Chain A
């Protein structure tokens, strides 16, 4: 069983269940959400603000289809275990790196690089290789099979 940091109100749960997609494109989107949930606009705004401050949601906004705005790639490094902290810090230090995870594998450091164009990506990977002395695997997305409807939460 995982840990859940904060207790969520019924309205907050509904916001997470229903509004991972389809935020109204209306001048008062949160008032329209409030109408649908039968609460006030301020309740919706307060709930979303609290969820964002608690880190339960990262934002209310767009999820862009990969490689339609700028370009990105998934990269991996096989880092000797005694160097992992140091190399992870180096990689995280790049503004172009937006996710950086340790995973259980010989390739143990996995990160996503995003840039404005292919040349920008190549420069970041080359720079990481030069700085760490490790050659990254460059695994750009070729095809996306995932229809993102948001994550189906199971309330228990």
Chain B
């Protein structure tokens, strides 16, 4: 668990939690979505807009907009590429890898020795396997990673994919929508 992050204060507030519960599955596609959310949780439209703006400004919400599903857009292949990077270099390399447009996630995670040695995880999407492999080759060349042990874990079946629900128990949001790759 990342112990360096704590929940945003708004999330300790019942209204804030109700807001998250109401919007985590997506906004209703109607002319005044924030007003609909406001009615659902019993606050004003202006309050909903203000609270969302606060969460965006403070980085709790990374972005607000259309969440695409890669596979349905023809990006049929994805691989999780895991790298065994010296601990002192992982942050710098992580920031470099995370900036490539075809890298869709880039996280440091713990090693679990002896079973698991890899500490940097990148998700790479492409139209097919060849496309993904070319992206990986480009990363290796651009960042000088020939000597860095890595493995490519192509996904072969998707058993389940939906948006994260955080166990925040307020009347359900608008739909149990599918989510993006995590």
Contacts and interface: CB of A to CB of B under 8 A. Distances in A.
B49 A70 contact: no
Interface string A138-151: 11111111111111
B111 to A, nearest CB: 9
B129 to A, nearest CB: 11
A105 interface: yes
A20 interface: yes
Given A62-B55, A68-B8, A102-B159, A145 B63 contact: no
Interface residues of B, number: 92
A82 interface: no
Nearest to A144: B107
Contacts, number: 296
Contacts of A2: 73-77, 127-128
Contacts of B80: 103, 110
A58 interface: yes
Interface of B: 1-2, 5, 7-8, 11, 20, 23-27, 29-35, 45, 49, 52-53, 55-56, 59-70, 72-77, 80, 90-91, 94-95, 97-99, 101-110, 112, 115-116, 121, 125, 127-128, 151, 153-168, 175, 177-182
Given A69-B8, A149-B63, 5 more contacts: A25-B34, A55-B72, A59-B25, A59-B177, A71-B1
